[in-house]
Amino acid sequence: MGRRLVYMDHSATTPLREEVIKAMEPFFRERYGNPSSLHSWGRETRQAVESARRKVGLALGSEPEEIYFTGGGTESNNIVLQGIARRRGKGHIITSSIEHHAVLDVCRDLATGGFQVTYLPVDRYGMVDPREVEEAITPGTVLISIMMANNEVGTIQPIKEIGNLARLKNILFHTDAVQAVGKLPVKVNDLGVDFLSLSAHKFNGPKGVGALYVRKGVSLAPLCNGGGQERKLRPGTENVPGIVGLAEALELAMGELSPRTAHLVALQKRMEEGLLKIGGATVNGHPQLRLPGHINVSFNYVEGESLLLGLDLQGVAASSGSACTSGSIDPSHVLLAMGLEPEVARGSLRLTMGWENTAEDVDYVLGVLSPLVKRLRKISAHYPQSRSWEGLKGV
């Protein structure tokens, strides 16, 4: 097979869809009015923003007024966690040890100023146990924040069970659904969440725009003051092209959810079977309850960073750990929380597939990966000598 370019880092970000570019384009050109202006230019873009809000509400099963547009997943998470903290002043927060840094780092900050934080452990599949959530609740608990699907290993959390529990105990519940939206059915009432964060660039929408669902009647203190946009929760002139693109991308993704899932599950199966044939490979994350098309694999005696760079030279985009922490060789906090040894965690590679990937892409990646792993093991100081010599025989 000749050289090809294969993008398999869809959990980091996804390509923009043509339809999304088309929907956004007029708002970069002739439809440039400020949605707060009273003239017809402004009324036209206001309509576009409100139509996007209705589409997002429809996709999530919420009222349109419960949707707030933001600058992305990180901002949505911060608006919730810091917003609660500012309202309450002190209290106890329950989260998990495998959250994205956009939750973990906020919690770390809050812990320096009046908040106690419980970081729940996970099992070897990266799963939070709802019983542990229940046990962690104290009379001072003000918020539970558990992600819907993990960005490194793809494990899907029991959000509905935790939501039921939170309702029963009358505690506010946030889920960071940045990796789940567009890939799984996400209905806020089924899940029983009070807040839900999402980000457009994870489902073939534009970067720098996201949304936050806030259940009606729940109040958050805004992080920024200024204009009255987004009912004062996220003031500042709206990113109209981004908001239009987000809604278009979400509508398309949800409309195609079942063929997309079938396609991704088939590719995932093909990839996993091929990876396991390489030998010394372990697929991390839950065997079934995992995002479609998401694979995190560890190869013994190999550094994930070396795999990543070797793949890049052959035209393949992958990731080791989460994209936000790559560049550092610290083993992933998620894999360590799952109980992996630091050496094994360092050998992890994340391959996340998207709608445009094909079976040929999978075969190409496997064809590149197999000799690459062998080559890297040969030069590993830790690879057992006998096997290492065996490997060198053919050189």
352 lies in the binding site for ligand PLP (CB under 6 A): no
Which of 24, 59, 102, 271 is in the footprint of ligand PLP by CB under 6 A? 102
Catalytic residue list contains 324: yes
Closest residue by beta carbon to ligand PLP? 73
118 lies in the binding site for ligand PLP (CB under 6 A): no
182 lies in the binding site for ligand PLP (CB under 6 A): no
72 lies in the binding site for ligand PLP (CB under 6 A): yes
243 versus 281: smaller Cβ distance to ligand PLP: 243
74 lies in the binding site for ligand PLP (CB under 6 A): yes
Catalytic pick among 171, 324, 336, 366: 324
126 lies in the binding site for ligand PLP (CB under 6 A): no
147 lies in the binding site for ligand PLP (CB under 6 A): yes
176 lies in the binding site for ligand PLP (CB under 6 A): yes
Site for ligand PLP in 255-274 (CB under 6 A): none
176 versus 238: smaller Cβ distance to ligand PLP: 176
Which of 33, 35, 130, 210 is in the footprint of ligand PLP by CB under 6 A? 210
271/324 Cα distance (integer angstroms): 24
151 lies in the binding site for ligand PLP (CB under 6 A): yes
Which of 118, 155, 157, 199 is in the footprint of ligand PLP by CB under 6 A? 199
99 versus 303: smaller Cβ distance to ligand PLP: 99
278 versus 336: smaller Cβ distance to ligand PLP: 336
57 versus 154: smaller Cβ distance to ligand PLP: 154
73 lies in the binding site for ligand PLP (CB under 6 A): yes
206 lies in the binding site for ligand PLP (CB under 6 A): no
Site stretch for ligand PLP (CB under 6 A), options 22-30, 68-76, 106-114, 349-357: 68-76
Q: What would the two tokens of residue 204 be?
A: 């073939």
178 lies in the binding site for ligand PLP (CB under 6 A): yes
CA angle, 239 then 241 then 243, to 5°? 65
96/89 Cα distance (integer angstroms): 22
46 versus 174: smaller Cβ distance to ligand PLP: 174
395/390 Cα distance (integer angstroms): 10
Q: Taking CB under 6 A as the rule, which mask of x and - marks residues 82-101 in contact with ligand PLP?
A: ------------------x-
CB atoms within 10 A of CB 356: 14
Burial class (CB in 10 A: 0-12, 13-18, 19+), 152: buried
Enumerate binding residues for ligand PLP (CB under 6 A): 72-74, 100, 102, 147, 151, 176, 178-179, 199, 210, 324
- Which residues are catalytic, by number? 324
